Amino acid sequence: MLAQLRRQVVRMSRKNANYLDFNAGAPLHPSAVKKLRLFFSESDPSFLANPSSIHAHGRLAKSEFAEAREAIAASLGAKTDPEQLVLTSSGSEANQLAIRSVLEARLLRGEKPHWITTPVEHDSVMQMQAWLKERGGAVSLLPVDKQGVPQIAALSELWRPETALVSLLWVNNETGVISPVAEAVRDVRARGALIHIDAAQAWGKLPIDLEALGAHYVTFSGHKIGGLAGTGLLWVGRGTRVQPVILGKQEKGRRGGTENLAGWLSVGAAAQSLNPVQWSERVVLLRDRLESVIETLIPGTCINGKGAPRVANTLNLTFDQVEGDGLVMALDLAGFSVSSGSACASGVIEPSHVLLAMGHSKQKAMAAVRVSIGETTPWEALESFAQVLKTTVERVRRSGQIAGIRDQEQKAALT
């Protein structure tokens, strides 16, 4: 079964190159591929050494590891200190490490801290709400408007003397909407609390200067910029503590465990190639052209978040008279890999908590389609996608109308 699915994906990739889910994970950057080929080269086995080993092979691995860390730091602002970076296994781990570093320390002192976040965060942040409440803390949700933009002015209404932390997503992974993080940082700092920014979808898409931003914790994910998965990153502001979850001597005692050398070499190579301004200028032309074509071809199209600032590559769509979760599967069968606006866990499709917070019905929140592209996405693939999407939406609408007529006829027969 697995071999058959692998062959199907390979055939689709060779035929159409219809991968339109870059927000879930970008393809490996060419510079990362080049670095990994060197890593796995039989002519240079020293790359396989543990960076913590003190022999010559280990020292060489440690030197390569340090170079990658420096490249990553440089992509996050000219004054970013590589030693402020804590390398983790994922963006989810980095998010939860930041949150626990603030809230768990308060809990251990017998306090009942208050945490403010939003209803449109990544699931790794949403999961921590129950964790804090079970331990006696409190959580408040900062509301968002109909475009999904967090309302920073509402902080004053939610603030409490025991408020310890605010967590805010910089770029929403479902809609691409950009939050006013600079405003949030100023407000939270003025009130004397700490602020954590999830920047996983901002890295490589927006210019980033962490020193200028002034947050206390900022998290990233390496596979969003074309590195290997399994590479998360927590930037820690000066004077800000980390409460390690995995004890060990690595990462200056802030996160134990043998370093993922191959992963971080790939991320370092990808980070060196980032140019968010040029990338955005190229990709937004593709996204806006696709958006215009879809709106023309499919009446009743809603572009979620269109009225707010968005990153260049993300398009989140819902359609009038379309409900349910079949669109993504139908598009997959047609050869297009896109995402839904909903979270999938253990095969169970749930409504998108992001679209629910923006005011959509449960049915609409289950029928969203997220298209996320890169600068290598060919226009021909997007043009074909628009045509297939039109056909699919029309088919779903017709089937819905037929079902509605049958329901009316059955009700009439009973009266």
Calculate helix-pair angle for 276-297, 379-414, nearest 10 degrees. Answer: 40
CA atoms of 337 and 214, how far apart (whole Å): 37
Phi, psi (degrees; rounded to nearest 5) at 188: -65, -40
Rounded to a whole number of angstroms, the distance between the first and last alpha carbons of the chain is 51
Q: Where are the alpha helices (DSSP H) in 230-319?
A: 261-272, 276-297
Contacts (Cβ under 8 Å, ≥6 apart) of 357: 118, 119, 120, 143, 144, 148
- Joined tokens for residue 106: 């308060």
- Residues marked active site are found at 344
232 φψ region: left (φ > 0), alpha (ψ -120 to 50), beta (else) = beta
90 three-state secondary structure: coil
Rg (CA), the chain: 23
CB 369 within 8 A of CB 316: yes
Beta strand pairing status for 314-319 and 339-340?
Answer: unpaired
Residues 6+ apart with CB under 8 A from 244: 97, 253, 254, 255, 256
In angstroms, the CA 88 to CA 95 distance is 10
Q: At what angle do helices 261-272 and 56-74 cross, to 10 degrees?
A: 40
Which residue in this structure is represented by tokens 């979760």? 325
Three-class SS of residue 174?
A: coil
In contact, 137 and 165? CB cutoff 8 Å: no
Of the candidates 278, 120, 118, 148, the residue with the CA atom closest to the CA atom of residue 206: 278
Instruction: Return the number of other C-beta atoms located less than 10 Å from residue 123's C-beta.
Output: 13
* Cα dihedral 362, 134, 101, 353 in deg (nearest 10): 0
Residue 60, classed as helix, strand or coil, is helix
